[in-house]
């Protein structure tokens, strides 16, 4: 692969949003470059060790029929993961093997004609008026820039949009606090794990917390099975009241979370036979950020939109994952579960930032309030948003139009042709 000086579409960030955007645009014949600061795609799934895919289906209450909500490219990723042995047949939370995911996303991107640039950090943009002309990059080759016609910010933190001076919101409206950050980790060599052990762990954890012997403010211990019997996944550290967009705060968060990892590891080994010989085999390469910046887009999705299960004329993805808010203040996790058969739409306008005419933003940083983001942030939905952004960017180039002038009927028609769910 020889890098070009200019691309039709440049995608920054290779998480589920960015990978899906790049693959969908590449399949429409556009020249696409995906730039990622790590050495693979998958984003939080790989460097934060986030697992499993949260549920992305509902059930028709009358017929009992399953309705898949995250279809399209995401279904293809899941099918191909299963074929490669990287996911099982679970129909709810779906555990997957992130090493298989990394390999698969490379394969799918290359098949789709996407150029990849790993270990490369986007540090800025060159902009003329509201039009981004190029991204500035830094990597082992030095500092340079690459031009593009259209850009997709899939950085999770809306980094590209910020570099392009687009307005954004941070965290909860009342005080800008974000959902807690969590450093995920895995223990191997766990002899057995079942509901009874889980209950015993949680009961003793509460006693320890009440006695001040556990510093982690999280209310319980959140454990998931993995594809390997004796390996458990822990999504249970909790760092609160620090800003994920402030480098010093993030450093503090990494240190606090690592203390919590060892606090939990020691607690389990000291008190439960099943963990006596367990080994801490991995922690995320970086602490996981559930929420940070959300762009201030042409439309901001709200909690009220979710509660009324609103669908829009420009819906490009649907979701019914619960409004899952890990308390930004300390203990507690609140949930609002959608009624069976119900889901809400995410409008195309949520991906259009103000102050830029050739930039789309996909993934967990689309324009949404704190509550709405708490639902749409899951990996399946981020993939759906990315797929729509890739197609929309391609359409804007075909029609020589601004991203906000894209024909949304045509966009939704293409998404339907690709089996995505938009109604
Ligand atoms: C602790 C935790 C637990 C979670 N649990 C679940 C769960 O169980 N199931 C679920 O479905 N979802 C879960 N989520 C939510 C989900 O993982 C994320 O919201 C989702 O993966 C975000 O995808 P994304 O593509 O928007 O961003 P990311 O996956 O964050 O991808 C952004 C990419 O952009 C790159 N990047 C950023 N800035 C630059 C730059 N300047 N230059 C180059 N590259 C850049 C990053 O390296 C990264 O690869 C969890 C999240 C966290 C943090």
State the distance from the centre of ligand 1 to the C-alpha of 272, rounded, in angstroms: 33
Report the SS3 class of residue 229: coil
Q: How far is CA 238 from the centre of its chain?
A: 18
6-172+292-417: CATH homologous superfamily?
Answer: FAD/NAD(P)-binding domain (3.50.50.60)
Q: Does residue 69 contact residue 320 with C-beta atoms inside 8 Å?
A: yes
Q: Does the CB atom of residue 288 touch ligand 1 within 6 A?
A: yes
In which band, very low, low, confident or very high, does the pLDDT at 315 lie, cut at 50, 70 and 90?
A: very high
- How far apart (Å, rounded) are the C-alpha atoms in residues 320 and 69? 8
* Alpha helices by DSSP H, 211-333: 247-271, 303-307
Which CATH number among 3.30.70, 1.10.3210, 1.10.3470, 1.10.8 corresponds to the domain 181-289?
Answer: 3.30.70
Q: What secondary structure does DSSP assign to 53-66, as a single string?
A: BPP-EEE-TTT--E
- How far apart (Å, rounded) are the C-alpha atoms in residues 360 and 366? 9
In which band, very low, low, confident or very high, does the pLDDT at 290 lie, cut at 50, 70 and 90?
A: very high
Identify the residue whose tokens are 């009324």: 308
Q: What are the residue ranges spanned by the domains of the chain?
A: 6-172+292-417, 181-289
Burial of 84 (0-12, 13-18, 19+ CB in 10 A): middle
pLDDT in tens, 326-374: 999 999 999 999 999 999 999 999 999 999 999 999 999 999 999 999 9
Predicted TM-score of the model (pTM): 0.98
Q: Does residue 152 contact residue 363 with C-beta atoms inside 8 Å?
A: no
* Whether the domain at 6-172+292-417 and the domain at 181-289 fall into the same CATH topology: no
Q: Does the CB atom of residue 289 touch ligand 1 within 6 A?
A: yes
Please confirm whether the linkage preceding 258 is cis (ω < 30° from 0): no
Q: Does residue 194 carry a pLDDT above 90?
A: yes
Ligand 1 pocket, mutate which of 43, 54, 321 (most atoms under 8 A from CB): 43
């Amino acid at each position: 692969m020889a890098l070009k000086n200019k691309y039709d579409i440049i995608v920054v960030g290779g998480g589920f949003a960015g990978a899906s955007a790049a693959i969908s645009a590449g399949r429409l014949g556009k020249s696409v470059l995906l730039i990622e600061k790590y050495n693979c795609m998958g984003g939080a799934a790989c460097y934060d060790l986030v697992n499993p895919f949260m549920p992305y289906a509902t059930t028709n209450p009358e017929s009992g029929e399953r309705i898949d909500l995250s279809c399209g490219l995401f279904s293809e990723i899941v099918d191909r993961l299963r074929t490669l042995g990287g996911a099982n047949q679970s129909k709810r939370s779906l555990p997957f093997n992130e090493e298989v995911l990394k390999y698969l996303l490379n394969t799918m991107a290359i098949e789709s004609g996407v150029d990849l640039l790993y270990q490369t950090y986007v540090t800025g943009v060159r902009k003329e008026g509201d039009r981004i002309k190029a991204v500035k990059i830094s990597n082992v080759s030095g500092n340079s820039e690459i031009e593009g016609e259209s850009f997709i910010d899939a950085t999770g933190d809306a980094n590209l949009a910020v570099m392009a001076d687009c307005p954004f919101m941070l965290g909860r409206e009342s005080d800008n606090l974000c959902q807690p950050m969590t450093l995920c980790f895995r223990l191997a060599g766990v002899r057995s794990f079942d509901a009874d052990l889980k209950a015993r762990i949680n009961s003793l954890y509460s006693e320890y917390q009440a006695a001040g012997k556990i510093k982690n403010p999280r209310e319980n211990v959140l454990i998931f099975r993995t594809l390997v019997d004796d390996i458990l996944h822990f999504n249970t550290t909790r760092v609160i009241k620090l800003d994920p967009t402030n480098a010093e705060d993030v450093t503090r968060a990494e240190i606090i979370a690592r203390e919590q990892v060892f606090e939990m590891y020691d607690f389990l080994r000291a008190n439960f036979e099943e963990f006596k010989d367990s080994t801490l085999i991995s922690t995320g390469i970086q602490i996981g950020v559930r929420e940070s910046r959300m762009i201030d887009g042409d439309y901001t999705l709200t909690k009220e939109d979710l509660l009324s299960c609103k669908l829009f004329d420009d819906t490009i993805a649907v979701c019914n994952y619960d409004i899952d808010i890990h308390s930004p203040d300390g203990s507690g996790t609140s949930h609002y579960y959608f009624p069976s058969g119900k889901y809400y739409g995410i409008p195309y306008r949520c991906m259009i930032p103000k102050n830029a005419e050739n930039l789309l933003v996909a993934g967990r940083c689309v324009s949404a309030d704190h509550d709405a983001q708490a639902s749409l942030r899951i990996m399946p939905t981020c993939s759906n948003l990315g797929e729509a952004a890739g197609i929309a960017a391609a359409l804007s180039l075909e029609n020589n139009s601004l991203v906000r002038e894209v024909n949304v009927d045509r966009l939704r028609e293409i998404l339907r042709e690709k089996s995505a769910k938009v109604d």
